[in-house]
Structure 1
Amino acid sequence: MDHRCKRAVIVEDNPQMRTLIKVLLHQFGVKEIIEGEDGNEAMRALRDGGADVIIMDWMMPGMDGIECTRRIRAGQDGIDPDIPIILATGVEGSSAEAMALAAGANCFIKKPFSIKVLHAAFVKVLGVSPALAN
């Protein structure tokens, strides 16, 4: 694993999906993983310690993933506006990806996604190819 990704923030309101993503990120070699249920929790986690990558759901109560992405890209609260963001969603429609990318997401993945899809997104946004742990 290239150690450019030491800390990840998962923002997902579904606890089972959060757990699945966390397990996969551990398999990708990420050691520190912070979890949040909505964009407000993501902003707190990012203020408290930043991140090397964010995997964020779109549809969440409170602050959704699109609004949170926009706030991160605006550099609100001193948060690094260049943190790579993978936006994951079950939102249907051809304009969903365009809307996510316009908000500032680096990569858009459709739920449900496979390990390979998340791995490819991880590689794309970080520019590294972590080996999957055994």
Structure 2
Amino acid sequence: MRTLIKVVLHQLGVAEIVEAEDGNEALQVLREGGADLVVMDWMMPGMDGIECTRRIRAGQDGIVPSIPIIVATGVQGDGAESMALAAGANCFLKKPFSIKRLHAAFEMVLGESAASMN
């Protein structure tokens, strides 16, 4: 899945992509250098993607709380999308998803981010 995401990001012109293995590592990466976009899996070892999203939105430790977050996950259930959005995700993608849907999600959240800066 990471490879697919990287391919689509490269197609959008993204040159630098940083990966993290879990929520704790993701927060460390964001503290050290920030990011323009986060693609978060829900199920990760240690801190899961929902808790990581909540912590990003809390804006602690110098992390920019307004960074666009896409939760891309195989978690099923009626409340999964609502829970991800309530945690602060901008977009919820249920796996498996198509390249077209992933591309549309990137454009949507990056467009929202640019609009909020104006």
What's the TM-score, normalizing by structure 2?
0.91
Give 1:69 deviation, angstroms: 0.1
More helix by share: 2
Q: Deviations over 1:8-41 (max 9, x none)?
A: xxxxxxxxx2122112211111111000111111
Which deviates more, 76-85 or 20-29?
20-29
RMSD: 1.0
For 1:55, what is the secondary structure of its paired residue? Answer: strand
1:58 to 35, 42, 45: 42
For residues 26-65 of structure 1, what are the structure 2 equivalents within 5 Å? 26-65=10-49
1:111 to 91, 95, 100: 95
For 1:127, what is the secondary structure of its paired residue? Answer: helix
What's the TM-score, normalizing by structure 1?
0.81
Identity %: 79
Q: For the Cα contact (< 8 Å) 2:4–2:99, is it kept in 1?
A: no
Q: Deviations over 1:87-121 (max 9, x none)?
A: 01101111100000000000000001111111111
- Distance in 1 between residues matched to 2:60 and 2:35, nearest whole Å: 15
- Distance in 1 between residues matched to 2:2 and 2:29, nearest whole Å: 15
Residue 100 of structure 2 aligns to which amino acid in structure 1? K
For residues 115-126 of structure 1, what are the structure 2 equivalents within 5 Å? 115-126=99-110
Residue 76 of structure 2 aligns to which amino acid in structure 1? E
Unaligned runs of 5+ in 1: 1-16, 129-134
Residue 31 of structure 1 aligns to which amino acid in structure 2? A
1:77 to 57, 61, 68: 61
Residue 99 of structure 1 aligns to which amino acid in structure 2? M
More strand by share: 1
Q: Deviations over 1:66-90 (max 9, x none)?
A: 0000000000111000000000110
For 1:62, what is the secondary structure of its paired residue? Answer: coil
Unaligned runs of 5+ in 2: 113-118
Following TM superposition, the consecutive aligned residue runs of length 4 or more in structure 1 with deviations greater than 6 angstroms are: none
Residue 23 of structure 1 aligns to which amino acid in structure 2? V
